[in-house]
Amino acid sequence: MNYPYLKNKNVLLGVSSGIALYKAVDLASKLRKLDVGLNIILTPNAEKLIDKTVFSAVGDCNVYTSIKNDVNGGWIPHTSLSADADVFVVAPATTNTIAKLNAGFADNLLTATASAFDKEEKIIVATMNTRMFENKANLRNLKGLEEMGWKIMFPDEGHLACGEVGKGRYPDNENILEFIDGVLAPKDYEGKKVVITAGPTIEPIDPVRSITNRSSGKMGYELARELAARGAEVYLISGPTKLKPPFLVKKFFSVESVDEMFKLTLKFFKEADIAIMAAAVSDYKVKNYSNKKIKKSSENLIIELEKNPDILKELGKIKNNTQITVGFAAETNDVIEYANKKLINKNADIIVSNDVSRKDIGFDSNQNEVVLISKDGEKHVEKSSKRDISVAICNYISSKFSK
């Protein structure tokens, strides 16, 4: 996974003494593999549960535990660590630490550093027993921290270390990284509603067979991830894929056929600012679906097809002057020529064209290389990860609505 806004940032990880702190070791390991500077603070009780050398070895970083013992000459840990960090993440954050932070305590290195941290990029990963999480005092403290500018990542539901089942579980570390990346991302899409289609569609022939394509959905999902990180309210409408919906995308809809995708897209486009049609939709569907499996009865089988609705073209007909529509042109030859025709024929604002005949950037690849085409001209985006390509596409779209 690629996290463009974490790159080259200084991350300060604060670890309090919940039993889930062993999962924070994995978070430190994952952060180490990214291009970040990492420092870690353990509370005194956390150090009783796990030796700081574990975090130091796994994170390849310095680990601090005491205001007094870690002073070195003029270097004072709580003021220096808070000044150097671009983002402060407390994971796991226990009920006790949450209460102290809300009350303004500075009685250990973690809370003292939090008191000195004056940037907006500060995150609480709340993790505890369900009844402790739902305790009115804890909920009041979390609300108080939100009012002070802390970004709260609420716990997952599931099996807890105590044996109970409920809300309080430490989130998946990939989701924590995505949450951090979103906190660090620019917010140029805040207040914007964006509809994105992604993945393939399936048009059934009979209960066994169907017409589909090789789209993995990766480009559409990365666009959804990027836009959500940058503050957009994203409606992701996806055909069948093997992908997990991006954590920050809260409105996800699963469909199979073009008709299903078309209806949902029209529904949400009415209130949307931008529509990005990244799905690889079937141009045709079977005219007469067979309720029973078609048997081998002759050497040849003729299946009559009829046209599916052209979603991008229909949006081009109904959009207003402020709405932006973006389409994709996945071609195998004359890529730019076809993309320019599509821009005009579909009344689109932007067409993202790519050559799917290339194995290094084609279907299911994690890489892409595109040309962005609009009435203002063409912009070539060099081969890169699909997340980095999504950054370039979103920057290009942003330049259109900011004019």
Domain residue spans of the chain: 10-184, 193-401
400 is in an annotated binding site: no
Backbone angle region of 194, left / alpha / beta, with phi > 0 → left and psi within -120 to 50 → alpha: beta
Query: How far is residue 292 from each of residues 122, 204, 205, measured CA to CA in Å?
Result: 58, 11, 10
Do 10-184 and 193-401 show the same overall fold? yes
Classify each residue of 292-312 as buried b or exposed e, where b means 16 or more C-beta atoms within 10 Å of its C-beta.
eeeeeeeeeeeeeeeebbbbb
- Which pTM value belongs to this model? 0.94
The residue among 93, 88, 81 whose CA lies nearest residue 43 is 93
CATH superfamily of 193-401: CoaB-like (3.40.50.10300)
Is 293 one of the annotated binding-site residues?
yes
Helix ranges restricted to H, 293-385: 311-318, 335-345
Q: Is 312 annotated as belonging to a binding site?
A: yes
Q: What is the pLDDT of residue 161?
A: 84
Tell me the three state secondary structure of residue 58.
helix
- 258-273 exposure pattern, b = at least 16 Cβ within 10 A, e = fewer: bebbbebbbebbeebb
Annotated binding residue at 151? no
pLDDT recorded at residue 239: 98
pLDDT given at position 403? 57
181 is in an annotated binding site: no
- What is d(CA 115, CA 250) in angstroms, rounded to the nearest whole number? 32
Ligand-binding site membership of 319 (annotated) = no
CA atoms within 13 A on the CB side of 301: 7
* Cβ atoms of residues 167 and 129 within 8 Å: no
Catalytic machinery residues: 162
Answer for the pair 200, 348: CB distance below 8 angstroms, yes or no. no
Fold type of domain 10-184: Rossmann fold (3.40.50)
**What pLDDT sits at residue 164?**
87
pLDDT of 1: 85
327/276 Cα distance (integer angstroms): 6
Q: pLDDT (tens digit, 0 to 9) for every residue of the chain, 403 residues total? A: 899 999 999 999 999 999 999 999 999 999 999 989 999 999 999 999 999 999 999 999 999 999 876 677 778 899 999 999 999 999 999 999 999 999 999 999 999 999 999 999 999 999 999 999 999 999 999 999 999 999 999 999 998 888 888 999 999 999 999 999 999 999 999 999 999 999 999 999 999 999 999 999 999 999 999 999 999 999 999 999 999 999 999 999 999 999 999 999 999 999 999 999 999 999 999 999 999 999 887 788 899 999 999 999 999 999 999 999 999 998 889 999 999 999 999 999 999 999 988 888 878 899 999 999 999 999 999 999 999 999 999 999 999 876 5
Specify whether the CB–CB gap between 281 and 215 falls below 8 A. Answer: no
